[in-house]
Amino acid sequence: PTRLPSPTPFRSTRRIQEVERLDRVIGQLLEFARPSTLRIKPVRVADLVQHSLKLIDGDARAKGIEVKSEVPSNLPDVPIDADRMSQVLLNLYLNSMQAMDAQGILEVKVSRDETRKLTTIIVADNGGGIDPADQERMFDPYFTTKPDGTGLGLTIVHKIIDAHHGTVKVKSKPGLGTAITLILPDAEEEQDRG
């Protein structure tokens, strides 16, 4: 029998990367298509942010990106969907890291307005910034400026924050970086939103 040549490591690596990319695309399509049912419970935001930052620590170090966080430890528990909010933060972190070169800085700041019952999370980077024309479309489904992007990451961010009855604000200048602000009003516990 004729023996086929074994795949070279380069081909094998490319196949794995392509499978991972397709898996990500399918996952994002499914996430985008399903209704936003939230599981609202009191969450320690400081723990949520620190845990989400640990998930990107290796990638940030490999890229030479410094990660800074300002999260007061005395924040009260906030009623949100922890899994969905982690997804939002990871999407924002990954976008920021893709926008930066080595020596980039990713900053996460959390603050609380107890009077108005609002929690604010800012994810900022010193990357290339976003063109003003693209800022108007960046939350549109399938809009992307990345060659391997799906155009669904920021759409999902917007959808989850909207399901929390929150607001997403973008401040960006080309060459000077981007700051995305999430403003989250306290939600009612154990209520499905969609």
End-to-end CA distance of the chain: 59
Query: What 8-state DSSP symbol labels residue 111?
Result: E
The confidence score (pLDDT) of residue 174 equals 85
The confidence score (pLDDT) of residue 156 equals 83
Query: How far is Cα 152 from Cα 29, in angstroms, rounded to an integer?
Result: 7
Residue 133 has pLDDT above 80, yes or no: no
Residue 193 has pLDDT above 50, yes or no: no
Average pLDDT over residues 130-156: 63
pLDDT band at residue 103 under the 50/70/90 scheme: confident
pLDDT band at residue 194 under the 50/70/90 scheme: very low
The confidence score (pLDDT) of residue 107 equals 96
Task: Name the 3-class secondary structure at 119.
Answer: strand
The confidence score (pLDDT) of residue 42 equals 92
Does residue 50 or residue 102 have the better pLDDT? 50
pLDDT tens track for 32-45: 555 567 888 999 99
Average pLDDT over residues 94-121: 90
When the pLDDT of each residue in the chain is averaged and rounded to a whole number, the result is: 79
The confidence score (pLDDT) of residue 86 equals 92
* Alpha-carbon distances, residue 193 vs 164, 176, 186, 187 (angstroms): 8, 37, 13, 10
* Alpha-carbon distances, residue 114 vs 54, 165, 184, 185 (angstroms): 28, 17, 12, 10
